[in-house]
Amino acid sequence: MTGTESFQVGIFENLMSSQQIFENREVLRHTYTPDYLPHRSEQINSLATVLVSALRGDTPSNVLIYGKTGTGKTAVAKYVGKELEKSGDLRGVQCKVIYINCEVIDTQYRLLAHIARHFDKDVPMTGWPTDQVYSEFRDSLDREKRVAIVVLDEIDKLVRKGDDALYNLSRVNTDLKKARLSLIGISNDLKFTEFLDPRVKSSLGEEELVFPPYDANQIRDILMQRAEMAFKKSVLEEMVIPLCAAFAAQEHGDARRALDLLRVSGEIAERAKASVVGERHVRQAQEKIEIDRVVEVVRTLPTQSKLVLLSVLLLNNGADTESLTTGEAYHVYRQMCREIGAEVLTQRRITDLISELDMLGILNAVVVSKGRYGRTKEISMSVPLESTKSALFEDYRLKPLVDFRAPQTAMQMKLY
Any domain includes 15: no
Mean pLDDT of 370-396: 83
Q: Are residues 223 and 188 in the same domain?
A: no
CATH code: domain of residue 182:
3.40.50.300
Any domain includes 393: yes
Any domain includes 19: no
Domain end: 297, 312, 344, which one? 297
Domain end: 162, 194, 211, which one? 211
- From the list 367, 394, 384, 376, the residue with the least C-alpha distance to 313 is 384
387 or 86: which leads in pLDDT = 86
Residue pLDDT, tens place only, 27-64: 999 889 999 999 999 999 999 999 999 999 899 999 99
Phi, psi of 411 (to 5 degrees): -65, -45
CB atoms within 10 A of CB 4: 8
Which residue intervals of 52-206 are DSSP H helices? 73-91, 108-118, 130-141, 155-159, 164-171, 198-204
Domain end: 211, 235, 251, which one? 211
Q: Are residues 282 and 306 in the same domain?
A: no
CA distances from 52 to 45, 49, 78, 128, 363 (A): 10, 6, 15, 36, 47
Reported pTM: 0.78
Bin 122: left if φ > 0, else alpha if -120 < ψ < 50, else beta: beta
CB atoms within 10 A of CB 316: 19
Q: Are residues 224 and 191 in the same domain?
A: no
217 or 369: which leads in pLDDT = 217
Domain count, the chain: 3
Distance CA 409, CA 392 (A): 24
Q: Are residues 82 and 119 in the same domain?
A: yes
CA distances from 256 to 153, 277, 319 (A): 15, 19, 37
Q: Are residues 384 and 327 in the same domain?
A: yes
**Residues β-bridged to residue 107:** none
Q: Are residues 176 and 125 in the same domain?
A: yes
CATH code: domain of residue 385:
1.10.10.10
Q: What is the mean pLDDT of the chain?
A: 88
DSSP 240: H
Q: Are residues 282 and 310 in the same domain?
A: no
Q: DSSP string covering 119-161, please?
A: TT----SSSS-HHHHHHHHHHHHTTSS-EEEEEEETHHHHHTT
Residue pLDDT, tens place only, 118-169: 998 888 878 899 899 999 999 999 998 999 999 999 998 888 877 788 888 9
Any domain includes 337: yes
Distance CA 387, CA 403 (A): 17
Any domain includes 68: yes
Any domain includes 28: no
Mean pLDDT of 231-242: 95
Q: Give the range of the structural domain holding residue 232, as residue numbers without chain letter.
A: 214-297
Q: Are residues 57 and 169 in the same domain?
A: yes
Q: Are residues 86 and 191 in the same domain?
A: yes
